[in-house]
Chain A
Amino acid sequence: MHWIEWVIIIGWLAYIIWDGVRRTRGTKNIEGYFLADRNLPWWAVGLSVMATQLSAITLIGTTGQGATDGLRFVQFYFGLPIAMVILGVTLVPFLHRAKVYTAYEYLERRFDPKTRSLTSLLFLLSRGMSCGTIIAAPAVVFSAILGWDLYWSVALIGIPAIAYTVYGGAAAVAWADVKQMYLIVAALFAIVAVLVYQMPIPIDDAFRIAGAAGRLRVFDFSFSLTETYTFWSGIIGGTFLMLSYFGTDQSQVQRYLSAKSVDEARSSLLMSAYWKIPLQAMILVIGVLVFLFYLFQPAPMLYNPRHAEQTREREPAAYAALEARYAAAVGARQTAARSASDAQHDGDAAAQRAALQQFRDRDAEVSEVRTDALATAARATGQSSRDVNYIMPRFVLDKLPLGFAGIFLSAVLAAAMSSIAAELNSLSTATIVDFYQRWFRREAPEAHYLRMGKIATALWGLFACVVATYAATLGSLIEVVNRFGSFFYGSILGVFILAMIPRVRAFGAFVGMLCGMAAVGAVSFGIPSVSFLWHNVIGAVTVVVVGLVLGGIGKPSPAGSTAPTADTA
Chain B
Amino acid sequence: MPTPFRTTLWRVLLVQLVTLVLLWLMQNHYAMPA
Q: Which residues of B contact A274 (CB under 8 A)?
A: 12, 15
Query: Is the beta-carbon distance between A217 and B31 smaller than 8 angstroms?
Result: yes
With A211-B32, A212-B32, A360-B32 known, 5 other A-B pairs at CB within 8 A are: A85-B9, A88-B9, A274-B12, A352-B33, A569-B5
A218–B12 contact, CB under 8 A? no
Per a CB cutoff under 8 Å, which of A211, A277, A356 touches B16? A277
Contact status B12-A278, CB under 8 Å: no
Interface size on A, residues (CB 8 A): 34
Nearest-Cβ distance from residue B24 to partner chain A, whole angstroms? 6
Write the nearest CB–CB distance from A141 to chain B, whole angstroms.
29
Within the complex, what minimum Cβ distance (angstroms) separates B16 from chain A? 4
Known: A89-B5, A274-B12, A569-B5. A218 touches B24 (CB 8 A): yes
B19 surroundings in chain A (CB, below 8 A): 277-278, 281
What residue in chain B is nearest A78 (Cβ atoms)? B20
Set of chain B residues within 8 Å of A569, measured between Cβ atoms: 4-5
Main secondary structure of the interface of A (DSSP, over half): helix
Closest 8 CB pairs of A and B: A211-B30, A81-B16, A218-B23, A273-B12, A216-B30, A212-B32, A218-B27, A207-B30
The answer to whether A353 has its CB under 8 Å from any CB of chain B is yes
Contact of B27 among A78, A208, A219 (CB under 8 A): A219
A278 vs B20: C-alpha distance when bound (angstroms):
10
User: In the complex, what's the smallest C-beta–C-beta distance from A533 to chain B, in angstroms?
Assistant: 18
Interface assignment of A56: CB less than 8 Å from any CB of chain B: no
Could you say which of A74, A85, A349, A352 has the most chain B C-beta atoms within 10 Å of its C-beta?
A85
Cβ contacts under 8 Å, B33 to chain A: 349, 352-353, 356
**When the two chains form their complex, are residues A219 and B16 in contact, meaning their CB atoms are under 8 A apart?**
no
Give the size range of B's interface with the partner.
20 to 34
Chain B residue numbers with a CB within 8 Å of A212 are: 32
Cα-based distance from A71 to B22 in the complex (angstroms): 13
B31 to chain A, nearest CB (A): 5
Return 29 A-B CB contacts under 8 Å, by A number. A85-B9, A88-B5, A89-B5, A210-B30, A211-B29, A211-B30, A211-B31, A216-B26, A216-B27, A218-B26, A218-B27, A219-B23, A219-B27, A263-B2, A266-B5, A266-B8, A270-B12, A273-B16, A274-B12, A274-B15, A281-B19, A281-B23, A353-B32, A353-B33, A356-B32, A356-B33, A357-B32, A568-B5, A568-B6
Decide yes or no whether A49 CB sits under 8 A from chain B: no
Q: Is A84 at the interface (CB under 8 A from chain B)?
A: yes
Residues on B with beta carbons closer than 8 Å to the beta carbon of A356:
32-33
Please name the residue on chain B nearest to A264 by beta carbon.
B2
Interface members, chain A 44-98 (any B CB < 8 Å): 71, 74, 78, 81-82, 84-85, 88-89
Q: In the bound complex, what is the Cα–Cα distance between A366 and B20 (angstroms)?
A: 31
Q: Determine how close the nearest CB of chain B comes to the CB of A273; give it in whole angstroms.
A: 5
CB neighbours of B6 from chain A (8 A): 568
With a cutoff of 8 Å between Cβ atoms, the chain A residues found around residue B32 in the complex are 211-212, 353, 356-357, 360
Distance of A110 from chain B, by nearest CB (Å): 23
